[in-house]
Structure 1
């Protein structure tokens, strides 16, 4: 049986509102800033990835994360910690082994989905604002069905974070042995932020605390789940912070390799 809602006796008819939204705040500002920020970062990263120079400082073993691991035949032999086996071509990034997985991890990230759905696709651009599309099929059809690969991209991101950590470790080198400079500080800040972003991933939270019926029977996993949950609440901020630290690390190493400035050394 179905029922039909009726207007109470004496009630005024509903107003005909032609405006698409009654929001009077600057709801459009966040999508605009997101478009500007992501476009600027992608443009810079693409330029640097295919620049294929100014990525390595031999004196201190500084390798930019955009070129790690450097596995192209065109890599400086000293920078190729894991060998050189990818053809040298201006169309193939020196770090072609890792960049596709990093791109997949970022593209399928829950926060980044929200960011580019709202900003680039206007789907929807903001709460209480109509969707820019007439139809919505969710992430059940091509190409958005591939968003479900995020949990698998997470494992690759963990391996790449380990590589970045190794790069930071071997960078503590100077001509006289152990050394530590401003470049090391920047490298380690980037690595710590990358680990925080990776650990705050929703997939990581599910892997640690998912499929459990009783947390009381798994105190260690419960404690880890609590820590990851706190990081997860800052996932959006960490997503933007890591974009900034990646660009800063790369720009600093590029400047050193180009001779624009010298590394401030604290030890060695």
Structure 2
């Protein structure tokens, strides 16, 4: 029996020799998305394993090393807010307790799925542009069925966001000068606020607040929270990209201060 041909090559479809009739630069968006995601992965991977310049002015801890729980954190006194218990090894990030979960959380994020499916996976790259894959099984088989872990990773991400918030708050206290406010504090605080916007605008968070409710009228508090999160959810893609940028900017600022390239400007204290 001859296998039935499906997709754009099916006999019932118009036989158009061209891959697509689009004449605009439809490839720009998927190409830019690929470059943006790849840039963050390369930078973040390098910094996670660099194992230096992660703690500045005895109070600024970069989010790429939070929480700093490696024995190597002893090189920067005050950076390990929650103790040191992981072995110090070049192949183990100082924040190995959080980075894998954050990476998988973003990898399984509903927006990021759409972004890299269309750009890296080309499934499809754009409207009226056929994808090169011979078949489509959706997210029902391995490995894509693991995308469903996103809803559970959300809870771990909330805990890590609380840790990042703690880092930003304790950074206002210098061990020698007491309460101070520097440019680094503004950078860390802005990053935390935007990370919370990304986390709380998550589809999983929206579902937790109101997804299982049958009658909103019987749960007015949860309904109100659900409406707030729904409003944030409309900007989830925006926060997804903004936080990639703020993470890099925050880490880069800590790196520059820690390496002595620039000096943190104090606004108070």
The answer to whether the superposition gives a TM-score over 0.5 is yes
CA distance in 1, matches of 2:57, 2:264: 12
Map 1:55-134 to 2 at 5 A. Answer: 55-59=54-58, 61-75=59-73, 76-134=76-134
CA distance in 1, matches of 2:77, 2:97: 17
Listed one character per residue, the Cα deviations across residues 88-134 of structure 1 (whole Å, up to 9, x for unaligned) are 00000000000010011000000000111111110111122112201
Report the counterpart of residue 167 of structure 2 in structure 1.
167
Report the counterpart of residue 207 of structure 1 in structure 2.
208
Report the counterpart of residue 151 of structure 2 in structure 1.
151
The alpha-carbon deviation at position 18 of structure 1 amounts to 2.2
CA distance in 2, matches of 1:58, 1:187: 13
Q: Aligned with 2:267: secondary structure? A: strand
Q: Is the 8 A contact 1:121 1:132 kept in 2?
A: no
Q: Aligned with 1:81: secondary structure? A: coil
**So what's the TM-score if we normalise by structure 2?**
0.92
Report the counterpart of residue 11 of structure 1 in structure 2.
none
The structure-2 alpha-carbon separation of the partners of 1:15 and 1:245, relative to structure 1 and needing over 3 Å to count, comes to closer
Q: Aligned with 2:227: secondary structure? A: helix
CA distance in 2, matches of 1:225, 1:26: 39
Report the counterpart of residue 183 of structure 1 in structure 2.
184
Report the counterpart of residue 41 of structure 2 in structure 1.
42
CA distance in 2, matches of 1:197, 1:81: 24
Deviates more, 1:14-23 or 1:258-267: 14-23
The alpha-carbon deviation at position 22 of structure 1 amounts to 2.5
CA distance in 1, matches of 2:163, 2:132: 41
Q: Which runs of 5+ in 2 are unaligned?
A: 1-12
Map 1:228-243 to 2 at 5 A. Answer: 228-243=229-244
The alpha-carbon deviation at position 19 of structure 1 amounts to 2.2
The alpha-carbon deviation at position 24 of structure 1 amounts to 2.4
Report the counterpart of residue 195 of structure 2 in structure 1.
194
Larger radius of gyration: 1
Listed one character per residue, the Cα deviations across residues 180-224 of structure 1 (whole Å, up to 9, x for unaligned) are 010000000000000000001000011111111111111111111
Report the counterpart of residue 4 of structure 1 in structure 2.
none
**So what's the TM-score if we normalise by structure 1?**
0.92
Listed one character per residue, the Cα deviations across residues 68-107 of structure 1 (whole Å, up to 9, x for unaligned) are 0000011134111111100100000000000010011000
Q: Which runs of 5+ in 1 are unaligned?
A: 1-13
Q: Is the 8 A contact 2:57 2:257 kept in 1?
A: no
Map 1:12-31 to 2 at 5 A. Answer: 16-31=15-30
CA distance in 1, matches of 2:223, 2:17: 51
CA distance in 1, matches of 2:145, 2:15: 38
Q: Segments of 4+ in structure 1 off by > 6 A? A: none
